[in-house]
A and B are shown apart, each in its own frame.
Chain A
């Protein structure tokens, strides 16, 4: 009996769980759907009816969107639809790269400063200094001196985001160290690294994960800004910021050159933000009610 009941209940429960999730968190589900669509679009770009995104064709310059050129063509006759789809690769690469790198480095710095006073004094003074430079400006300064490449863009944005993660982790570690369960672990003779890995680190995951999604979103915007003002990815790479930068001088007559990549960028950032809000609500219910 019990077995049969479980067998019947399982599929119903699963289906209603999905429906329930959508009913209760429509924005989070929407964010996940858009994000998955963007990732698939970036990966499958060559198979989605695109042509070479950098193929120049002077006779087909500045064509309006049509059945042949879905998003029209740019000043060099390059197909905007193909360029926009391939552009998703750069944005996602930068967003993910910066989120992962700055989280790992920030986590390491935050843990060290949370445990060692001397390191705390030195590292946090440097972080305070870096944090008083507005992030985009810091990234611009770093990019102005290095060769334009996707890797350098990721490094530059990471450096400007690391202080925030480090400060967040440091705060969490400092408050955790005072918690009875950590004191109990230390009193029970648990070694330093075991305390760190079993008691401290797991409790930093939730806030860091949420922070990482917001960093991902802001990194995508920063990359677009850097490329847009000519200090980002090399101009020959079709990133959304670069496409918009090239469309700048034609905006009044061919606004679609900026509108299409702009919409894709905004949608992707929106999706990441919605997923981040969902994560925050799921991982920290106390905060969820307030924000």
Chain B
């Protein structure tokens, strides 16, 4: 087990290496001087020269990459071109709202989606099942920001139940904190929930057709016991895998959700960085999100041994 964890941890190094090379060389795949691209159309020659120097473009490519990578490994993500502040510091300031939003969305979605999938599989072919499947297809088709505006229109503008926009830190009280996160979490979590519900249903259907389920029912166990203790436990591996892979949907969604709800998180930072062509920030955000994604899926891989004793490494 321990050896396996070490082996999996080591296997993430080449993956993150490719990400690092890709993120770094992004600046150079476009034709022309990257400094000129970053500076934009109305930049003066001095602006371009300043950015040229700031990016260290006077030095050879490999030397620059080495220096950059060494910095990244020590937590130095470079300096923002627009604000002249360290990127790591800018990201650190924006981390809390994004973590709060994604965690809430993740927890709420998983709590709702798994039971939905279980019930759909249990009642397969009925209107409950069809309802869950319709929810899943709609969830895949309704873009997060369109749903976000529909939610704001219904619950904030028409009904006036919840705030339209903004973020309140948990330090200023739990009620306003949650109030501001309800709509963003639903908008962000819908597609993720659709995916989890669908996989839960498929995985449960597979398990429910097994002999040991019939045995469990035949010996008179309660439905809930059969569903949770016997079926869901054996259906867990694909579900947990999708919970991990689906994090990519949350990360992608967070950028646009934060924009709609004016939440001052990393997504908002990214959008501002794009508009200002502040490339060091974009690089830092991609590295951070990719690392988070890889680590979550590493945790998922390791959790298989806990969920399914048959899995041995």
Contact = CB atoms under 8 A, between A and B. Distances in A.
* A and B associate in one complex: yes
B143 A266 contact: yes
B142 interface: yes
Contacts of B198: 291
A28 B282 CA distance: 40
Contacts of B274: 140, 143-144, 229-231
Contact of B15 (A129, A229, A255): A129
Interface string A136-150: 111011111110000
Nearest to A262: B146
Interface string A110-137: 0000000000000001101110111111
Nearest to B141: A270
A42 interface: no
B51 interface: no
Nearest to B270: A140
Contacts of A135: 248, 252
B111 interface: no
Contacts of B96: none
A232 B129 CA distance: 38
B18 A145 contact: no
B205 interface: yes
Interface stretch (A2-10, A180-188, A220-228): A220-228
B107 interface: no
B289 A134 contact: yes
Interface in A28-75: none
Interface in B1-42: 14-19, 21-23, 26-27, 29-30, 34, 37
A217, A274, A290 — most chain B CB neighbours (10 Å): A290
A144 B143 contact: no
B192 interface: no
Interface string B132-149: 000001101111011001
A12 B283 CA distance: 63
Given A145-B279, A146-B30, A230 B271 contact: yes
Contacts of A225: 143, 145, 252, 255-256
A18 interface: no
Contacts of B273: 144
Contacts of B26: 141-142, 145
B285 interface: yes
B105 interface: no
A221 to B, nearest CB: 5
A187 B64 CA distance: 53
B256 A137 contact: no
Interface stretch (B74-82, B150-158, B172-180): B150-158
B275 interface: yes
Contact of A130 (B22, B143, B150, B202): B22
B72 to A, nearest CB: 15
Interface string B261-301: 00000000011011101010011011001100110000000
A259 interface: yes
Nearest to A230: B275
Sorting the interface of chain B by its residue count into under 10, 10 to 19, 20 to 34 or 35 or more gives 35 or more
A265 interface: yes
B90 interface: no
B22 A136 contact: no
Interface string A223-253: 0110011110000000000001000100110
- Interface residues of B, dominant DSSP: helix
B206 interface: yes
B290 A133 contact: yes
Contacts of A273: 137, 140-141
A133 B252 contact: no
Contacts of B271: 229-230
Contact of A132 (B19, B142, B149, B164): B19
A277 interface: yes
Given A129-B18, A255-B149, A259-B153, A144 B279 contact: yes
Contact of B202 (A129, A140, A229, A291): A291
Interface string A207-228: 0000000000100010011001
A85 interface: no
A143 B26 CA distance: 10
Nearest to A291: B202
A57 to B, nearest CB: 25
A173 interface: no
Given A230-B274, A290-B206, A137 B143 contact: no
Given A146-B30, A277-B137, A290-B205, A140 B143 contact: no
A10 B64 CA distance: 73
Given A144-B274, A270-B141, A128 B15 contact: yes
Contact of A134 (B22, B152, B260, B293): B293
A132 B293 contact: yes
A252 B163 CA distance: 12
A269 interface: yes
Interface in A251-291: 251-252, 255, 258-259, 262-263, 265-266, 269-270, 273-274, 277, 290-291
12 contacts: A125-B18, A126-B18, A129-B19, A132-B290, A134-B289, A135-B252, A138-B286, A145-B26, A229-B255, A262-B143, A290-B206, A291-B198
Given A128-B14, A136-B253, A270-B142, 7 more contacts: A130-B22, A133-B289, A134-B251, A135-B252, A141-B282, A225-B252, A262-B149
